[in-house]
C-alpha cells in the first residue's frame, strides 16, 4: 500500500483528528502544528498565538481507497471555512482554516475543490489559506486520540460530537466499517 499525506487545519485539532479517524482509507491522523515560525513549538506557545502556527492534523491515507479530493470535501463540510482565525469559541490564528499541500497536484486539487464549493455552497466566502507544507511538529501525546479518550468531556460532547455526527450522516459511504 502506498500512502499519501494531507495536512489540514480546521480549528481545534481534536475535532479534525476525530473526523478523519472515521474515514475508510485513513491510516493515521496525527495532531500537530504547522505554518509557523518557531521551531519545535509547544501547545502553550501555539495557544498564545505568537508562533504563527495553526493547529493541524497530518492525515496519512491510501489514495486507492479515499481520494485527496474526498478528504477535502469532508474537511470543508466539518468546519467553517468562511471565518478567519476562528472556529466557534476558539479564536486566534492558531485556529485558522488552512490546507498545507505536499505537491503541485494537491495544490491544484485544493484550489479546484475550494472554487467548486465556493460556487455551490459558500457563496465565495471561503477564507481557507492554501500554502506549501513546511515543517510539521507533532503535538504532545495527551492531544492524540483526544475524542476517543475523552468522549464524555464537555468540549467533546458540545463541539466534537456534532461534527462527527454530521460526518456520519453526510459521508456515510466514506466511513470505516
Cell of 114: 475550494
Class of domain 4-174: alpha beta
Q: 0.95 cut: is pTM over it?
A: yes
pLDDT for res 177: 80
Cell numbers for 17, please give them: 483528528
Which residues lie below 8 Å from residue 113, measured CB to CB, with a gap of 6+?
69, 72, 73, 76
Pull the grid cell for residue 100.
498545507
Mean pLDDT of 4-17: 98
Catalytically active residues, by annotation = 12
Q: Is 102 exposed, middle or buried (0-12, 13-18, 19+ CB in 10 A)?
A: middle
**pLDDT single digits (tens) 143-157:** 999 999 999 999 999
Helix H or strand E segment including 129: strand 129-132
For 76-109, how does the pLDDT look when each residue is reduced to its tens digit (9 = 90+)? 999 999 999 999 999 999 999 999 999 999 999 9
- The CA-based angle 102-105-107, given to 5 degrees, is 65
Amino acid at each position: 500500500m502506498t500512502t499519501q499525506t494531507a495536512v489540514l487545519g480546521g480549528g481545534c485539532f481534536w475535532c479534525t483528528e476525530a473526523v478523519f479517524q472515521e474515514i475508510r482509507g485513513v491510516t493515521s491522523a496525527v495532531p500537530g502544528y504547522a505554518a509557523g515560525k518557531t521551531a519545535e513549538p509547544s501547545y502553550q506557545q501555539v495557544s498564545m498565538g505568537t508562533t504563527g502556527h495553526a493547529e493541524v492534523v497530518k492525515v496519512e491515507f491510501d489514495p486507492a481507497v479515499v481520494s485527496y479530493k474526498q478528504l477535502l470535501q469532508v474537511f470543508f463540510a466539518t468546519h467553517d471555512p468562511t471565518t478567519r482565525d476562528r472556529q466557534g469559541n476558539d479564536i486566534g490564528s492558531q485556529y485558522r482554516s488552512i490546507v498545507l499541500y505536499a505537491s503541485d497536484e494537491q495544490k491544484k486539487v485544493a484550489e479546484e475543490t475550494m472554487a467548486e464549493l465556493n460556487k455551490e455552497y459558500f457563496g465565495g466566502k471561503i477564507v481557507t489559506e492554501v500554502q506549501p507544507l513546511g515543517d510539521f511538529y507533532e503535538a504532545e501525546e495527551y492531544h492524540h486520540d483526544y475524542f476517543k479518550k475523552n468522549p464524555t468531556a464537555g468540549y467533546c460532547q458540545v463541539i466534537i460530537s456534532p461534527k462527527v455526527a454530521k460526518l456520519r450522516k453526510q459521508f456515510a459511504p466514506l466511513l470505516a466499517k
